Structure 1
Protein backbone atom coordinates (compact mmCIF):
# COMPACT_ATOMS: atom_id res chain seq x y z
CA UNK A 1 0.00 0.00 0.00
CA UNK A 2 1.53 3.27 -1.12
CA UNK A 3 -0.04 5.64 1.39
CA UNK A 4 -1.16 5.06 4.93
CA UNK A 5 -4.03 6.97 6.45
CA UNK A 6 -2.53 8.61 9.49
CA UNK A 7 -5.35 11.12 9.81
CA UNK A 8 -8.90 9.95 9.20
CA UNK A 9 -10.63 13.31 9.00
CA UNK A 10 -9.37 15.81 6.45
CA UNK A 11 -12.19 18.38 6.39
CA UNK A 12 -11.92 18.45 2.58
CA UNK A 13 -15.44 17.04 2.27
CA UNK A 14 -17.08 19.57 4.54
CA UNK A 15 -18.21 21.61 1.53
CA UNK A 16 -20.17 18.69 0.02
CA UNK A 17 -17.57 17.28 -2.35
CA UNK A 18 -15.39 14.21 -2.17
CA UNK A 19 -12.21 13.16 -3.90
CA UNK A 20 -11.95 10.40 -6.47
CA UNK A 21 -8.88 8.22 -6.81
CA UNK A 22 -7.66 10.24 -9.79
CA UNK A 23 -7.55 13.42 -7.68
CA UNK A 24 -10.69 15.00 -9.12
CA UNK A 25 -13.47 16.20 -6.83
CA UNK A 26 -17.16 15.49 -7.33
CA UNK A 27 -20.32 16.27 -5.35
CA UNK A 28 -21.07 13.70 -2.65
CA UNK A 29 -24.33 12.87 -4.43
CA UNK A 30 -22.59 12.15 -7.76
CA UNK A 31 -23.76 8.95 -9.49
CA UNK A 32 -20.26 7.49 -9.17
CA UNK A 33 -20.32 8.05 -5.39
CA UNK A 34 -23.76 6.40 -5.17
CA UNK A 35 -22.37 3.37 -7.04
CA UNK A 36 -19.30 3.31 -4.81
CA UNK A 37 -21.53 3.40 -1.72
CA UNK A 38 -23.69 0.56 -3.04
CA UNK A 39 -20.61 -1.59 -3.71
CA UNK A 40 -19.31 -0.76 -0.23
CA UNK A 41 -22.67 -1.69 1.33
CA UNK A 42 -22.66 -4.95 -0.61
CA UNK A 43 -19.19 -5.74 0.70
CA UNK A 44 -20.44 -5.10 4.25
CA UNK A 45 -23.38 -7.46 3.63
CA UNK A 46 -20.94 -10.13 2.44
CA UNK A 47 -18.98 -9.57 5.67
CA UNK A 48 -22.13 -10.15 7.73
CA UNK A 49 -22.90 -13.31 5.74
CA UNK A 50 -19.32 -14.45 6.25
CA UNK A 51 -19.58 -13.98 10.03
CA UNK A 52 -22.86 -15.92 10.08
CA UNK A 53 -21.29 -18.83 8.18
CA UNK A 54 -18.63 -18.99 10.89
CA UNK A 55 -21.27 -19.73 13.55
CA UNK A 56 -23.65 -21.81 11.43
CA UNK A 57 -23.99 -25.58 11.11
CA UNK A 58 -22.45 -25.58 7.62
CA UNK A 59 -20.02 -28.46 7.23
CA UNK A 60 -17.43 -26.89 4.91
CA UNK A 61 -16.92 -23.53 6.59
CA UNK A 62 -13.39 -23.13 5.18
CA UNK A 63 -14.62 -23.39 1.59
CA UNK A 64 -17.41 -20.87 2.19
CA UNK A 65 -15.03 -18.51 3.97
CA UNK A 66 -12.53 -18.69 1.11
CA UNK A 67 -15.23 -17.94 -1.48
CA UNK A 68 -16.65 -15.05 0.52
CA UNK A 69 -13.17 -13.67 1.16
CA UNK A 70 -12.42 -13.70 -2.58
CA UNK A 71 -15.74 -11.96 -3.24
CA UNK A 72 -14.94 -9.25 -0.69
CA UNK A 73 -11.55 -8.64 -2.31
CA UNK A 74 -13.12 -8.46 -5.78
CA UNK A 75 -15.70 -5.98 -4.52
CA UNK A 76 -12.90 -3.88 -3.06
CA UNK A 77 -11.20 -3.98 -6.47
CA UNK A 78 -14.48 -2.98 -8.08
CA UNK A 79 -14.71 -0.04 -5.67
CA UNK A 80 -11.24 0.99 -6.86
CA UNK A 81 -12.46 0.92 -10.44
CA UNK A 82 -15.46 3.07 -9.60
CA UNK A 83 -13.28 5.49 -7.62
CA UNK A 84 -10.67 5.82 -10.39
CA UNK A 85 -12.36 6.38 -13.78
CA UNK A 86 -10.99 4.21 -16.61
CA UNK A 87 -9.01 2.02 -14.17
CA UNK A 88 -9.39 -1.76 -14.49
CA UNK A 89 -8.79 -4.14 -11.59
CA UNK A 90 -11.48 -6.85 -11.84
CA UNK A 91 -10.32 -9.81 -13.93
CA UNK A 92 -12.49 -12.28 -15.88
CA UNK A 93 -11.28 -15.12 -13.62
CA UNK A 94 -13.58 -13.73 -10.89
CA UNK A 95 -16.65 -14.17 -13.10
CA UNK A 96 -15.46 -17.65 -14.15
CA UNK A 97 -14.97 -18.63 -10.49
CA UNK A 98 -18.51 -17.56 -9.60
CA UNK A 99 -19.97 -19.44 -12.57
CA UNK A 100 -18.10 -22.60 -11.57
CA UNK A 101 -19.34 -22.36 -7.99
CA UNK A 102 -22.92 -21.65 -9.12
CA UNK A 103 -22.83 -24.81 -11.25
CA UNK A 104 -21.40 -26.86 -8.38
CA UNK A 105 -23.96 -25.62 -5.86
CA UNK A 106 -26.83 -26.01 -8.32
CA UNK A 107 -25.98 -29.68 -8.98
CA UNK A 108 -26.88 -30.54 -5.40
CA UNK A 109 -30.16 -28.58 -5.40
CA UNK A 110 -33.55 -29.78 -6.58
CA UNK A 111 -35.03 -28.01 -9.58
CA UNK A 112 -36.75 -24.81 -8.57
CA UNK A 113 -40.44 -25.00 -9.52
CA UNK A 114 -41.79 -22.11 -7.44
CA UNK A 115 -40.68 -18.66 -6.39
CA UNK A 116 -39.00 -18.52 -3.01
CA UNK A 117 -39.26 -15.79 -0.41
CA UNK A 118 -36.12 -14.10 0.92
CA UNK A 119 -36.47 -15.86 4.26
CA UNK A 120 -35.20 -18.83 6.20
CA UNK A 121 -32.21 -19.33 8.44
CA UNK A 122 -29.99 -16.39 9.32
CA UNK A 123 -27.33 -17.40 6.80
CA UNK A 124 -29.93 -17.85 4.07
CA UNK A 125 -31.56 -14.51 4.89
CA UNK A 126 -28.23 -12.67 4.91
CA UNK A 127 -27.46 -14.17 1.49
CA UNK A 128 -30.80 -12.85 0.21
CA UNK A 129 -30.10 -9.42 1.68
CA UNK A 130 -26.69 -9.36 0.01
CA UNK A 131 -28.34 -10.44 -3.27
CA UNK A 132 -30.80 -7.56 -3.21
CA UNK A 133 -28.05 -5.04 -2.38
CA UNK A 134 -25.97 -6.59 -5.17
CA UNK A 135 -28.79 -5.93 -7.66
CA UNK A 136 -28.93 -2.30 -6.51
CA UNK A 137 -25.16 -1.95 -6.87
CA UNK A 138 -25.44 -3.43 -10.36
CA UNK A 139 -28.12 -0.87 -11.30
CA UNK A 140 -25.99 1.97 -9.91
CA UNK A 141 -22.93 0.78 -11.79
CA UNK A 142 -24.95 0.47 -14.99
CA UNK A 143 -26.15 4.06 -14.55
CA UNK A 144 -22.55 5.27 -14.27
CA UNK A 145 -21.61 3.19 -17.30
CA UNK A 146 -24.50 4.46 -19.42
CA UNK A 147 -23.49 8.04 -18.64
CA UNK A 148 -19.69 7.83 -18.70
CA UNK A 149 -19.07 4.63 -20.72
CA UNK A 150 -16.00 3.82 -18.63
CA UNK A 151 -17.02 0.83 -16.54
CA UNK A 152 -15.51 -2.32 -17.98
CA UNK A 153 -17.75 -5.20 -19.03
CA UNK A 154 -16.09 -7.59 -16.57
CA UNK A 155 -17.13 -5.41 -13.63
CA UNK A 156 -20.75 -5.36 -14.77
CA UNK A 157 -20.61 -9.13 -15.28
CA UNK A 158 -19.14 -9.59 -11.79
CA UNK A 159 -22.15 -8.03 -10.09
CA UNK A 160 -24.62 -9.82 -12.35
CA UNK A 161 -23.01 -13.18 -11.66
CA UNK A 162 -22.58 -12.42 -7.96
CA UNK A 163 -26.30 -11.84 -7.53
CA UNK A 164 -26.89 -15.24 -9.16
CA UNK A 165 -24.25 -16.79 -6.87
CA UNK A 166 -25.94 -15.27 -3.82
CA UNK A 167 -29.34 -16.62 -4.89
CA UNK A 168 -28.00 -20.15 -5.29
CA UNK A 169 -25.98 -19.74 -2.09
CA UNK A 170 -29.16 -18.78 -0.20
CA UNK A 171 -30.83 -21.99 -1.36
CA UNK A 172 -27.76 -24.04 -0.50
CA UNK A 173 -27.43 -22.49 2.96
CA UNK A 174 -31.13 -22.94 3.73
CA UNK A 175 -31.03 -26.60 2.75
CA UNK A 176 -27.80 -27.19 4.68
CA UNK A 177 -29.34 -25.87 7.89
CA UNK A 178 -33.08 -26.31 7.65
CA UNK A 179 -33.93 -28.43 4.66
CA UNK A 180 -36.31 -26.43 2.49
CA UNK A 181 -36.77 -22.96 1.08
CA UNK A 182 -39.67 -20.74 2.11
CA UNK A 183 -41.99 -20.80 -0.91
CA UNK A 184 -44.17 -17.98 -2.18
CA UNK A 185 -47.83 -18.92 -2.01
CA UNK A 186 -49.86 -17.74 -4.97
CA UNK A 187 -53.21 -17.71 -3.20
CA UNK A 188 -52.10 -16.45 0.19
CA UNK A 189 -55.17 -14.24 0.47
CA UNK A 190 -57.33 -17.38 0.57
CA UNK A 191 -55.68 -18.35 3.87
CA UNK A 192 -56.88 -15.28 5.74
Structure 2
Protein backbone atom coordinates (compact mmCIF):
# COMPACT_ATOMS: atom_id res chain seq x y z
CA UNK A 1 0.00 0.00 0.00
CA UNK A 2 1.39 3.40 -0.97
CA UNK A 3 1.50 6.19 1.61
CA UNK A 4 0.38 8.82 -0.87
CA UNK A 5 -3.13 8.89 -2.31
CA UNK A 6 -3.11 12.21 -4.17
CA UNK A 7 -6.60 12.89 -2.82
CA UNK A 8 -5.29 15.85 -0.81
CA UNK A 9 -3.56 17.52 -3.73
CA UNK A 10 -6.49 19.92 -4.02
CA UNK A 11 -5.95 21.16 -0.44
CA UNK A 12 -8.68 19.03 1.13
CA UNK A 13 -8.76 16.07 3.49
CA UNK A 14 -11.36 13.56 4.62
CA UNK A 15 -12.94 13.54 8.05
CA UNK A 16 -14.16 10.35 9.71
CA UNK A 17 -17.61 9.96 8.28
CA UNK A 18 -16.51 10.83 4.76
CA UNK A 19 -16.93 14.63 4.54
CA UNK A 20 -14.10 16.51 2.83
CA UNK A 21 -12.85 19.83 4.19
CA UNK A 22 -10.01 22.23 3.48
CA UNK A 23 -6.78 21.35 5.23
CA UNK A 24 -6.86 24.69 7.07
CA UNK A 25 -10.36 23.99 8.43
CA UNK A 26 -10.67 24.76 12.16
CA UNK A 27 -11.31 21.06 12.87
CA UNK A 28 -8.17 20.02 10.99
CA UNK A 29 -6.19 22.74 12.83
CA UNK A 30 -7.42 21.28 16.13
CA UNK A 31 -6.52 17.64 15.51
CA UNK A 32 -3.38 18.64 13.60
CA UNK A 33 -2.09 20.46 16.66
CA UNK A 34 -2.87 17.38 18.75
CA UNK A 35 -0.75 15.40 16.28
CA UNK A 36 2.06 17.94 16.70
CA UNK A 37 1.83 17.49 20.48
CA UNK A 38 2.09 13.74 20.05
CA UNK A 39 5.27 14.22 17.99
CA UNK A 40 6.79 16.34 20.78
CA UNK A 41 5.98 13.53 23.20
CA UNK A 42 7.85 11.16 20.89
CA UNK A 43 10.91 13.32 21.49
CA UNK A 44 10.28 13.16 25.24
CA UNK A 45 10.23 9.37 25.15
CA UNK A 46 13.36 9.23 23.01
CA UNK A 47 15.39 11.26 25.53
CA UNK A 48 13.85 10.14 28.83
CA UNK A 49 15.49 7.29 30.72
CA UNK A 50 12.87 7.40 33.48
CA UNK A 51 10.40 4.50 33.47
CA UNK A 52 7.61 6.46 35.18
CA UNK A 53 7.82 9.37 32.73
CA UNK A 54 7.94 7.00 29.75
CA UNK A 55 4.94 4.99 30.94
CA UNK A 56 2.86 8.12 31.54
CA UNK A 57 3.87 9.67 28.23
CA UNK A 58 3.13 6.49 26.27
CA UNK A 59 -0.32 6.31 27.88
CA UNK A 60 -0.91 9.95 26.96
CA UNK A 61 0.27 9.35 23.38
CA UNK A 62 -2.35 6.63 23.00
CA UNK A 63 -4.99 8.94 24.46
CA UNK A 64 -3.93 11.64 21.99
CA UNK A 65 -4.76 9.26 19.14
CA UNK A 66 -8.19 8.82 20.70
CA UNK A 67 -8.48 12.60 21.01
CA UNK A 68 -7.42 13.08 17.38
CA UNK A 69 -10.05 10.61 16.20
CA UNK A 70 -12.64 12.29 18.41
CA UNK A 71 -11.81 15.70 16.94
CA UNK A 72 -11.63 14.36 13.37
CA UNK A 73 -15.14 12.97 13.68
CA UNK A 74 -18.06 15.38 13.57
CA UNK A 75 -20.09 14.94 16.76
CA UNK A 76 -23.19 13.70 14.94
CA UNK A 77 -21.24 10.87 13.25
CA UNK A 78 -21.68 7.64 15.20
CA UNK A 79 -19.50 4.58 14.81
CA UNK A 80 -19.06 1.53 17.04
CA UNK A 81 -15.34 1.69 16.21
CA UNK A 82 -14.95 5.27 17.49
CA UNK A 83 -13.89 5.82 21.09
CA UNK A 84 -14.31 9.36 22.32
CA UNK A 85 -12.51 10.98 25.25
CA UNK A 86 -14.43 10.31 28.46
CA UNK A 87 -14.51 11.29 32.11
CA UNK A 88 -12.30 8.29 32.91
CA UNK A 89 -9.57 9.79 30.71
CA UNK A 90 -9.77 13.13 32.55
CA UNK A 91 -9.55 11.27 35.89
CA UNK A 92 -6.57 9.23 34.70
CA UNK A 93 -4.64 12.42 33.89
CA UNK A 94 -5.63 13.92 37.26
CA UNK A 95 -4.33 10.77 38.98
CA UNK A 96 -1.01 11.10 37.16
CA UNK A 97 -0.76 14.72 38.30
CA UNK A 98 -1.58 13.85 41.92
CA UNK A 99 0.95 10.99 41.95
CA UNK A 100 3.75 13.19 40.60
CA UNK A 101 2.92 16.21 42.77
CA UNK A 102 3.18 14.02 45.87
CA UNK A 103 6.89 13.63 45.05
CA UNK A 104 7.55 17.35 44.44
CA UNK A 105 8.09 20.28 46.73
CA UNK A 106 5.14 22.63 46.88
CA UNK A 107 5.45 25.35 44.27
CA UNK A 108 5.93 28.79 45.85
CA UNK A 109 7.11 30.77 42.81
CA UNK A 110 6.36 30.99 39.14
CA UNK A 111 9.00 29.09 37.21
CA UNK A 112 10.50 29.59 33.79
CA UNK A 113 10.57 26.78 31.25
CA UNK A 114 13.91 25.05 31.38
CA UNK A 115 16.29 23.29 33.65
CA UNK A 116 17.20 19.93 32.19
CA UNK A 117 16.80 19.18 28.49
CA UNK A 118 14.01 16.71 29.27
CA UNK A 119 12.19 19.30 31.37
CA UNK A 120 12.55 21.86 28.59
CA UNK A 121 10.96 19.51 26.05
CA UNK A 122 8.12 18.78 28.48
CA UNK A 123 7.55 22.55 28.79
CA UNK A 124 7.43 22.66 24.98
CA UNK A 125 4.79 19.90 25.11
CA UNK A 126 2.84 22.03 27.62
CA UNK A 127 2.94 25.03 25.29
CA UNK A 128 1.88 22.98 22.25
CA UNK A 129 -0.90 21.48 24.37
CA UNK A 130 -2.13 24.98 25.26
CA UNK A 131 -2.17 25.84 21.54
CA UNK A 132 -4.16 22.67 20.85
CA UNK A 133 -6.58 23.75 23.56
CA UNK A 134 -7.03 27.15 21.87
CA UNK A 135 -7.64 25.45 18.51
CA UNK A 136 -10.17 23.09 20.11
CA UNK A 137 -11.99 26.00 21.74
CA UNK A 138 -12.14 27.71 18.33
CA UNK A 139 -13.67 24.53 16.91
CA UNK A 140 -16.19 24.36 19.77
CA UNK A 141 -17.38 27.86 18.89
CA UNK A 142 -18.47 26.77 15.41
CA UNK A 143 -19.32 23.08 15.84
CA UNK A 144 -20.52 20.81 18.63
CA UNK A 145 -17.71 18.74 20.14
CA UNK A 146 -17.45 16.16 22.90
CA UNK A 147 -17.83 18.04 26.20
CA UNK A 148 -14.97 16.07 27.83
CA UNK A 149 -12.36 17.18 25.30
CA UNK A 150 -11.61 20.66 26.69
CA UNK A 151 -11.25 19.52 30.35
CA UNK A 152 -9.05 16.64 29.16
CA UNK A 153 -6.69 18.91 27.21
CA UNK A 154 -6.65 21.45 30.04
CA UNK A 155 -5.53 18.70 32.46
CA UNK A 156 -2.91 17.49 29.98
CA UNK A 157 -1.15 20.86 29.98
CA UNK A 158 -1.10 20.71 33.80
CA UNK A 159 0.36 17.21 33.58
CA UNK A 160 3.16 18.37 31.28
CA UNK A 161 3.99 21.19 33.70
CA UNK A 162 4.21 18.72 36.59
CA UNK A 163 6.18 16.24 34.48
CA UNK A 164 8.66 19.03 33.62
CA UNK A 165 9.14 19.74 37.33
CA UNK A 166 9.45 16.01 38.05
CA UNK A 167 12.06 15.65 35.28
CA UNK A 168 14.15 18.40 36.87
CA UNK A 169 13.84 16.71 40.25
CA UNK A 170 14.98 13.27 39.09
CA UNK A 171 17.82 14.81 37.10
CA UNK A 172 18.97 16.89 40.09
CA UNK A 173 18.33 20.23 38.37
CA UNK A 174 16.56 23.11 40.09
CA UNK A 175 13.49 24.69 38.54
CA UNK A 176 14.29 28.21 37.37
CA UNK A 177 12.34 30.70 39.47
CA UNK A 178 10.88 33.70 37.70
CA UNK A 179 12.52 36.98 38.64
CA UNK A 180 15.25 35.41 40.75
TM-score (norm 2): 0.91
**Residue 98 of structure 2 is aligned to residue 103 of structure 1:** yes
**Residue 149 of structure 2 is aligned to residue 159 of structure 1:** no
**Residue 70 of structure 2 is aligned to residue 81 of structure 1:** yes
Selected match of 2:133 from 135, 138, 148:
138
Cα distance, 1:24 vs structure 2: 0.7
User: Match of 2:19?
Assistant: 24
> SS at 2:165's partner residue?
helix
> SS at 2:173's partner residue?
coil
Structure 1 distance, partners of 2:132, 2:38, is 10
Q: Root-mean-square deviation (CA), in Å?
A: 1.4
> SS at 2:176's partner residue?
coil
Structure 1 distance, partners of 2:42, 2:88, is 21
**Residue 29 of structure 2 is aligned to residue 9 of structure 1:** no
Structure 1 distance, partners of 2:73, 2:92, is 25
Give the unaligned 5+ runs of structure 1. Answer: 1-5, 187-192
Larger Rg: 1
User: Match of 1:179?
Assistant: 173
Figure out how many residues of one structure are paired with residues of the other and give that number: 174
TM-score (norm 1): 0.86
User: Match of 1:148?
Assistant: 143
Structure 2 distance, partners of 1:108, 1:17, is 47
